[in-house]
Amino acid sequence: MLDAAAEVVRTDGVSGLTLDRVAEVAGVSKGGLLYHYGTKRELVLAMLDRTLTDADETLDRLADESGRTDGAFAHAYLEYVTSGMHGEDDGAAGIFAAAALEEGDLSPAQAQFARWQERLLDDDGIDPTHALLARVVGDGLWLIDLFGLAPPSPDQREQLADLVMDLIERGMGSSLT
Amino acid sequence: MLDAAAEVVRTDGVSGLTLDRVAEVAGVSKGGLLYHYGTKRELVLAMLDRTLTDADETLDRLADESGRTDGAFAHAYLEYVTSGMHGEDDGAAGIFAAAALEEGDLSPAQAQFARWQERLLDDDGIDPTHALLARVVGDGLWLIDLFGLAPPSPDQREQLADLVMDLIERGMGSSLT
DNA sequence: AACACTGTACTGGTCAGACGGTTTTTGGCC
DNA sequence: GGCCAAAAACCGTCTGACCAGTACAGTGTT
């Protein structure tokens, strides 16, 4: 059902996110939809929650797989948006819907981003400014993809990520030179 | 009237952007509002257009004032989002509204961002990857502010901007070392 | 008998846009 | 400068569409 809701946002936009439409795409009656999510707000919050949970798990996994001791999370953060692994199944639909609809409540997203930021700045073993750079670059690419605002090519993205990771590796142990 | 519309988005959110409300805030009747903008879509597109035009002019001015020959536009781009000069009078209300409402059409924004990107990469006299970095950092900060996703402190922003500008200045004439 | 739905019909509220009317401004003519 | 018609700017109400949420009687499954 959350998949269906995300798909509706992708195809019809946030304003097309109606209970009827979600039910239709999910292959469920409206009654059945409302049986699980008593209100539209609940549905949107569930979308948001799933988006954040998925992203968090993916970041964890990527950080793990990177095999680094320092900068693992920064690397994961960049990798997440550099490769087109987000935006596929549900992407930013949850966040976007929550932000646009009055029934939304972005505070879970704000808390999640604050947690990521904390982890980057305090626990990733790299220069805080470099950590912030990784975060902002990641978020920037995400925004650009979300709105399709002249997205850079995969090559450009990779060079950009390499540049930032180079910086981070070089800057370890010392503040910015 | 566009000011009023932007204010409504800021206070009531995108879903609160109704013709009645805009008219009320603008001190105009609904009829009067519709006299100028025949449809809501027109209103939203006008908001978007003004947002983009304002930003473009501000960037021009900032680039001019920077007194640089190379990296002037990159510097302006960073300065624009580092200092809180955006988001005050209308901010991203136009873009956000255009994106969220089905009556929106983001293509003017996409074109504008493409133009900025071109100017940064091709005409700013700096390494293209560094230029892209400036752009993505700028957009990232803008997104973070838009949604209030754990915005960095002014100090952090400044350090970040300094870091990027340092990189750009150091990298002039040579590719990334 | 509880659960997980379906399908239909309805309510109440909201909102974009249409429309007919009214005021204000403008420009031409004496 | 005074007058006047026509155009422009603006008003307020009405309507039709849409949509969240309700209600409820039925169906199949466990």
Query: Which nucleotides in chain D have some atom under 7 angstroms from a protein Cβ?
Result: 9-13, 18-25
- Say whether A129 and B101 touch across the interface (CB within 8 A): no
Query: Mind listing the pLDDT tens digit for each residue in B69-123?
Result: 999 999 999 999 887 655 555 567 788 888 888 777 899 999 999 999 999 999 9
Q: Tokens representing B119?
A: 């100017």
Which pLDDT does position B177 carry in this prediction?
A: 45
- Checking if the pLDDT of A17 tops 70, the result is yes
pLDDT above 70: residue A175: no
Per-residue confidence (pLDDT) for residue A177, from 0 to 100: 45
The DSSP H or E segment spanning A156 is helix A154-170
Neighbours of B129 (CB within 10 A): 20
The pLDDT value recorded for residue A85 is 57
pLDDT at residue A129 in the model: 95
Better-predicted residue by pLDDT, A15 or A134: A134
DSSP tally for chain A: helices H, then strands E = 9, 0
Using CB atoms within 10 Å of the CB of residue A17, give its burial: 0 to 12 exposed, 13 to 18 middle, 19+ buried: buried
- Closest-CA residue of B relative to A118 is B150
Which nucleotides of strand C lie within 7 A of protein CB?
A: 4-9, 14-21
Is residue A42's pLDDT more than 90?
yes
Q: Residues 111..140 of A with a Cβ closer than 8 Å to B: which?
A: 113-114, 116-117, 128-130, 132-133, 135-140
A1 pLDDT tier (thresholds 50, 70, 90): confident
Distance of CA B5 to the CA centre of its chain: 17
Residue nearest to nucleotide C20 (CA to C1'): B31
pLDDT tens digit sequence for A101-133:
877 789 999 999 999 999 999 999 999 999 999
Q: Which of B104-108, B149-153, B156-160 is least confident?
A: B104-108
Question: Of A14, A130, A176, which has the smallest distance from its Cβ to B100's Cβ?
Answer: A14
Q: Which of A52, A47, A40 is nearest to A110 (CA)?
A: A52
- Between CA A32 and C1' D28 the distance (Å) reads 14
DSSP codes of every residue in B56-119: HHHHHHHHHHTT-SSSHHHHHHHHHHHTTTSSSSSTTHHHHHHHHSTT---HHHHHHHHHHHHH
Q: Tell me what the mean pLDDT of segment A49-72 comes to.
A: 93
For residue B97, what are its two tokens? 């509204």
Is A64's pLDDT higher than 60? yes
- B39 CA to D13 C1' distance (Å): 18
| Strand C closer than 7 A to residue B109 Cβ | no
- CA-nearest residue to A132 within chain B is B160
Whether pLDDT at A169 is above 50: yes
- pLDDT over threshold 70, residue A173: no
Domain ranges of chain B: 47-170
Residue B31: which of B20, B42, B41 has the closest Cα? Answer: B20
